[in-house]
A and B are shown apart, each in its own frame.
Chain A
Amino acid sequence: MSEEQTLAVEVSAIERLTPLIKHFTLAPAGGGSMPAFSGGSHIVVVMRGGARVHRNPYSLLSSPHELDAYQIGVRRMEESRGGSHFMHDQVTVGTRLEIAHPVNLFALDKIARKHVLIAGGIGITPFMAQLEDLHRGRVPYELHYCVRSPEHAAFLPRLREREGERVHVYYDSEGEAIDFDRLLSGQPLGTHVYVCGPAGMINRLTATAHAWGWPDSHIHWEQFSAPPVGDAFDVFLARSKLHVHVPPDQSLMESIEAAGVEVPYLCRGGVCGFCQTRVLELDGEIVHNDHFLSEADRSKFIMPCVSRARCKSLVLDL
């Protein structure tokens, strides 16, 4: 079992940005500076204190050039399983939290000739850090930012002031939407597109890019969604010799962690592949919710961060 390596931080400032988004500043609890990171990185905040431990990933939105503290933006989810409500309702200035080291699964392509950034709502956060690098560089870029309505547009004054004409804002409330065909059909060779937002937006962007002949290597996306809910099921961990019950609103990974067994993870969103776990026995079916396993591997492995099972019995190599 790997020891979970976390950093101790203290909340040094909280600001309400929009009716749904709060902005947290996390300073090193023991003083000093935070580890270096690159734009697009996320951390996992470990929230203890409630009935269960929550581990939620959040993009770092502060400048990679300023390491005295990290900044994250947390959107209050309507159907929260507890994490975003904990951050909004229980965390105050002075609260101590643990975070996992930054990991970047949404990095800018270093040799791109142009960057097109597309954000939906809270999906603006990874771009805030990337813009710090793009702003200093010479490669052309543009940001397309979709929000519900003007009051929900976090960071907009700062973006307008720094980026000027490079920021394009679209308000749902005004019936505005990005014309993906127009955006993707006329980009020069060597352009990379990055999208962070709701699943529907990512799917439409990806499908439109493919239709215009973009290869996957030029399309980058990231989405942090809560692990899907489902039926309760039971699992046996062969190496730990433990029976674990997975309730409907808790992920397999969270249930295993609650039983005291650590699963290595980076993204907790079914993308990075780090938590890939071998299925030793199965009477039933795996509900694969990840974006990582190939069709061939789906019969042998499960990604416990997002995937579940409908089964009489399941034995995992953990």
Chain B
Amino acid sequence: MLVTGIKSKPVYAPLRADPRGRYHLMLGLGVGEVALLRVLREMQESALEGLARTRVLLLPAPAVGDASAAEARREIERLPLQEMRAFPDVPSLLGEFKSVLVDSLMGTRLYVAGPESFIGLAMKIALEFNLNKDEIRAEELGTQARRVYCIHCRATTENVRTNIVRCLGCERWLLVRDHYSRRLAAYMGVMVDAEAPGALPPIKEVFV
């Protein structure tokens, strides 16, 4: 990275149940299901009545992928939850998430488990509802591929795994910084060869 120790880089922690919450809303993508199952078990073991006030929205891992995710999902299905629903893609899951938030009440806690790009998109929506850090918990699991926002043309390039990427909008070569925007749910990409056009540092796969 060009600059390290940037404070806006999000920090995540393993999910824990928040017993102070009255309602619980959980989002999981792929192997995130494993983390959600862990939290739901924690709630079940602490004999909280919380499970009956818990809604889980999932985007299941591909059938050929991680077997632990599929197993976790089957276990989640057996729990006495208020609701568990699976969605075929990120936009449909986040669309439903948004309509659930419209009707949610104060006292709700949000749990998000999945890749950082997915957490970022969920947080961006949560922010619109004035949920803050006391109400949101997130655990990063899965790919570290980044959403990169071009500070020159404002296009966002998805699934970036390399330290330097070609912007999908303006085709500039962008250095992917650790500088993160919660509002945009993206890392900032800055033209890397502005001083010496064409002189690119080695491109490496760093976000795996």
A213 partner, pick from B101, B106, B132, B133, beta carbons under 8 A = B106
B residues 48-91 in Cβ contact with A at 8 Å: none
Interface residues in B, total, Cβ within 8 A: 18
Q: Which residues from chain B contact A218 at a C-beta distance below 8 Å?
A: 106, 134
CA distance A150 to B134 in the complex (A): 40
Whether A247 sits at the interface, judged by CB under 8 Å, is no
CB contacts (< 8 Å) of A215 on chain B: these are: 20, 132, 134-135
Cβ < 8 Å to B, chain A residues 197-229? 210, 212-218
Q: How near does chain A come to B24, taking the closest CB pair, in angstroms?
A: 9
- Min Cβ gap B27→A in Å is 15
Q: Which residue of A lies closest to B127 (CB)?
A: A111
Q: How far is the CB of A93 from chain B (nearest CB, A)?
A: 45
Q: Which of A111, A189, A216 contacts B105 (CB 8 A)?
A: A189
Main secondary structure of the interface of A (DSSP, over half): loop
Nearest-CB distance from B128 to chain A (Å)?
Answer: 9
Interface centre among A184, A188, A191 (most CB of B within 10 A): A188
Q: Which residue of B lies closest to A214 (CB)?
A: B106
B152 at the interface (CB under 8 A from A): no
Q: Does B104 contact A (CB under 8 A)?
A: yes
A187 in contact with B105 (CB, 8 Å)? yes
CB proximity of B49 to chain A, nearest CB, Å:
12
A190 near B130 (CB under 8 angstroms)? yes
Please give, as numbers and ranges, the residues of chain B lying within 8 Å of A216 by CB-CB distance.
134
B23 nearest in chain A by CB position = A213
B104–A189 touching, CB < 8 Å: yes
Please determine whether A111 and B106 come into contact, CB atoms closer than 8 angstroms: no
B17 within 8 Å of A (CB atoms) = no
Q: How many whole Å from A166's CB to the nearest CB in chain B?
A: 19
* Residue from A112, A188, A189 having most chain B Cβ neighbours under 10 A: A189
Any chain A CB within 8 A of the CB of B107? yes
Contact present for B130 and A111 (CB under 8 Å): yes
A47 to B101, CA, bound (A): 51
Tell yes or no: B21 within 8 A of A by CB.
yes
Nearest Cβ in chain A — how far from B191, in angstroms? 32
- CB distance A212 to B22 under 8 Å? yes
Closest chain A CB from B124 CB (angstroms): 14
Tell me if A189 and B130 are in contact (CB < 8 A).
Answer: yes
Q: Does B157 contact A (CB under 8 A)?
A: no
In the assembled complex, A160 has its CB within 8 A of some CB on chain B? no
In the complex, B108 has a CB within 8 A of chain A: yes
The yes or no answer to A291 lying at the interface (CB within 8 A) is no
Does B168 make an interface contact (CB < 8 A)?
no
**Chain B neighbourhood of A217, CB < 8 A:** 132-134
| B109, CB-defined interface residue at 8 Å | yes
Q: A212-B22, A213-B20, A215-B20 are in contact. Are A188 and B106 (CB under 8 A)?
A: yes
Any B CB within 8 A of the CB of A135: no
Q: A113-B129, A210-B20, A215-B20 are in contact. Are A189 and B134 (CB under 8 A)?
A: no
Task: Choose one: B22, B105, B130, B135; the contact of A112 (CB below 8 Å).
Answer: B130
With an 8 A cutoff between CB atoms, is A6 at the interface?
no
> Which of B89-117 touch A at CB < 8 Å?
101, 104-109
Q: Is A185 an interface residue (CB 8 A)?
A: yes
Question: Which residues on B sit within 8 Å (CB–CB) of A184?
Answer: 106
Chain A positions 180 through 194: 1 when the CB is less than 8 Å from some CB of chain B, otherwise 0: 000011111111000
From A113, A185, A213, A214, B130 is in contact (CB under 8 Å) with: A113
* B129, A214: Cβ atoms closer than 8 Å: no
Neighbouring A residues of B130 by C-beta, 8 Å: 109, 111-113, 189-190
Instruction: Report A-chain residues with C-beta under 8 Å of the C-beta of B145.
Output: none
Residues of A within 8 A of B23 (CB): 213
- Give 9 nearest A-B pairs by CB, closest first: A213-B107, A190-B130, A213-B22, A215-B134, A187-B106, A189-B129, A212-B107, A189-B104, A213-B21
Q: Can you sample 17 A-B contacts with CB below 8 Å?
A: A111-B130, A185-B105, A185-B107, A186-B105, A188-B106, A189-B108, A190-B106, A190-B131, A191-B106, A210-B20, A212-B107, A213-B21, A213-B23, A213-B106, A213-B107, A216-B134, A217-B134
| Sample of 5 further A-B pairs with CB below 8 A, known A189-B101, A190-B131 | A188-B106, A189-B106, A212-B22, A213-B109, A217-B133
